[in-house]
Amino acid sequence: MTAFVRIRPELITAHRMRMEMVNLEDEDIENTIRMKGWAWVRARWAWVYAGEPDFIYRQIREVIIGLPDIAFNEAGIEESIRSVEEKARNPEEREEGLALLRQAFEKTGQLEEAQRFLEGR
DSSP bridge partners of 20: 6, 48
What is the pTM for the complete model shown? Answer: 0.93
Eight-class DSSP state of 61? I
Q: Is the per-residue pLDDT at 121 higher than 70?
A: no
- Model confidence over 65-105: pLDDT tens digits? 999 999 999 999 999 999 999 999 999 999 999 999 999 99
Please give the average per-residue pLDDT across 40-50, as a whole number.
93
The pLDDT value recorded for residue 120 is 67
**Segments making up each domain of the chain, as ranges:** 3-118
d(CA 24, CA 34): 12
